[in-house]
Amino acid sequence: MNKRAFLEGFFTASTAAFGGHFMWQRINQQSPLLARADESAQTAGIATAKPELFQFTPIEIESIQPAEGIPKPVPSLDAKINLETVKLTDHEVDSYLRKIRNFDAVFANDIYLDQRYKSVLLKTTQHLTRLETHIGHGNFNLTSFDNMLKHGRNFPEIGAFEADELNFLEEIFFVNPHRYGFFGKKISAEITDFIPANDVAKISNTGHYLLKGESLNLYQQIQRDVGEEVILTSGVRGIVKQIHLFLAKAIEANGNLSRASRSLAPPGHSYHGIGDFDIGKIGFGARNFTADFSTTEEYRKISHLNYVDIRYPTDNLFGVRFEPWHIKLA
């Protein structure tokens, strides 16, 4: 990709994310949420962090696991791309590409959650894990923010969500993720946005759901053309589910939000909210969520279907790693 094409695409992607006057005001507010490890490069509203103080114990990490686990990347195939062949001249473009190709590495100018949020991050994520355990993995995919609050109030084994947790969830939802290096657009404007139960179909044997219509049709067409070995690995996801995945990833990344967002869209920014879905090969396990999926016969067949597109190709402009498994809804 040449530099001009990259920057033009970058501009388009950035503009798309700034919809509406309301959001514009929210994202411009200074936030105490973010910190930068590198003291020499301070930005307004971004404090400095000592990432080594942001460590969680193995027991703490065990206590927040989402049902399907946190995506565990293996070194991706495209990490081997020779940067010299890309002919990059601009330092920022170079650094951007290096980050998304080595998405699970730590970079000097990565943005961290401020350490003051360490305990509320852990507490809130554990709370969401209790909710998921209580209502079940399938239901948790669709549960709304309001439903989360109601369940917390009604069931002592979950417990009511407290003011510090709710403030934290709002801050995480409304901070502009451009500030920590994620450039996908905002899909949901409000934390209370939800997916109506009548709009989805349960996909048997998967624990996941798809939006009826285009999304469900696309999945069924892929299965007809590629075979029953292809299976839904994640379907439509509500905001609460995306928050839980993102916070669990942030804990695993020791508070490094840049690193977390290179492999998981921040809440409100996941195309899983509007019809995208993930597919895998039966029996391929966790490798379905690695670049290894692109070496399977199923992926080869899918890539020859002219009606299928993936959302995050190599060197995409969203700030996200290569995801051959993530099917884009046209």
Given the rule CB under 5 A, which residues bind Zn ion? 278, 326
- DSSP, res 43: B
Give 151 or 326: the residue with its C-beta nearer to Zn ion: 326
Backbone angles phi, psi at 125, to 5 degrees: -70, -40
Provide, rounded to whole angstroms, the least separation between the CB of residue 240 and Zn ion: 17
**Hey, how many other C-beta atoms are within 10 angstroms of the C-beta on 80?**
8
Distance CA 218, CA 12 (A): 27
Output the residue with the shortest Cβ distance to Zn ion.
Answer: 326
Comparison of 151 and 269: residue with beta carbon closer to Zn ion: 269
Distance of closest approach, residue 275 Cβ to Zn ion, in angstroms: 11
Asked if residue 269 lies in contact with residue 182, where contact means CB atoms within 8 angstroms, the answer is yes
Measured distance CA(18)–CA(148) in Å, rounded:
28
Q: How many CA atoms lie within 13 A of 270 on its CB side?
A: 29
For Zn ion, the closer CB: 165 or 278: 278
CA 262 from centre of chain: 8
CA atoms within 13 A on the CB side of 52: 1
Per-residue tokens: 259: 């690193």
> Measured from the CB atom, is 255 or 280 closer to Zn ion?
280
- Indicate the SS3 state at residue 250: helix
Q: Which of 110, 278 has the CB closer to Zn ion?
A: 278
Strand partners, 230: 281
**Least distance to Zn ion from the beta carbon of 234, Å?**
6
Nearer to Zn ion, 249 or 326 (CB): 326
- CA distances 30 to 110, 117, 164, 224, Å, are 18, 16, 18, 50
Cβ nearer to Zn ion, comparing 168 with 289: 289
Lateral strand order in the sheet of 230-234: 230-234, 277-281, 323-327, 310-312
CB 37 to Zn ion: min, Å = 28
**Beta partners for 304?**
none
DSSP 209: E
Rounded least distance, CB 324 to Zn ion, Å: 11
For the CB of residue 264, give the shortest distance to Zn ion in the complex, in Å: 9
- For the bound state, the minimum distance from the C-beta of residue 329 to Zn ion, rounded and expressed in Å, comes to 11
Task: Single out the residue of 272, 277, 287 nearest to residue 219, CA to CA.
Answer: 277
Q: 278 or 292: whose CB is closer to Zn ion?
A: 278
